[in-house]
Chain A
Amino acid sequence: KQEVTQIPAALSVPEGENLVLNCSFTDSAIYNLQWFRQDPGKGLTSLLLIQSSQREQTSGRLNASLDKSSGRSTLYIAASQPGDSATYLCAVSGQNFVFGPGTRLSVLP
Chain B
Amino acid sequence: DARVTQTPRHKVTEMGQEVTMRCQPILGHNTVFWYRQTMMQGLELLAYFRNRAPLDDSGMPKDRFSAEMPDATLATLKIQPSEPRDSAVYFCASGLEQGGTPSERTEAFFGQGTRLTVV
Is A65 in the interface zone, CB < 8 Å from B? no
In this complex, the interface size class of chain A, counting residues with CB under 8 Å from chain B, is 20 to 34
Binary contact track B14-41/A, C-beta < 8 Å → 1, others 0: 0000000000000000000101000000
Interface size on B, residues (CB 8 A): 22
Number of A-B residue pairs with CB-CB distance less than 8 Å in the complex they form:
56
A52 touches B104 (CB 8 A): yes
Q: Once the chains are docked, how many angstroms separate the CA of A34 from the CA of B107?
A: 8
Q: Once the chains are docked, how many angstroms separate the CA of A101 from the CA of B44?
A: 10
Given A44-B91, A52-B104, A93-B102: A99 and B112 interface contact (C-beta under 8 Å): no
Q: Once the chains are docked, how many angstroms separate the CA of A91 from the CA of B112?
A: 17
Q: Once the chains are docked, how many angstroms separate the CA of A95 from the CA of B59?
A: 14
Is B12 in the interface zone, CB < 8 Å from A? no
Is A46 in the interface zone, CB < 8 Å from B? yes
B interface with A by C-beta (< 8 Å): 33, 35, 42-43, 45, 48, 55-56, 91, 93, 102-113
CB<8 Å pairs between A and B, sample of 16? A32-B106, A32-B107, A42-B113, A44-B91, A44-B93, A45-B110, A46-B108, A46-B110, A49-B105, A91-B108, A93-B102, A93-B104, A96-B33, A96-B56, A100-B42, A101-B42
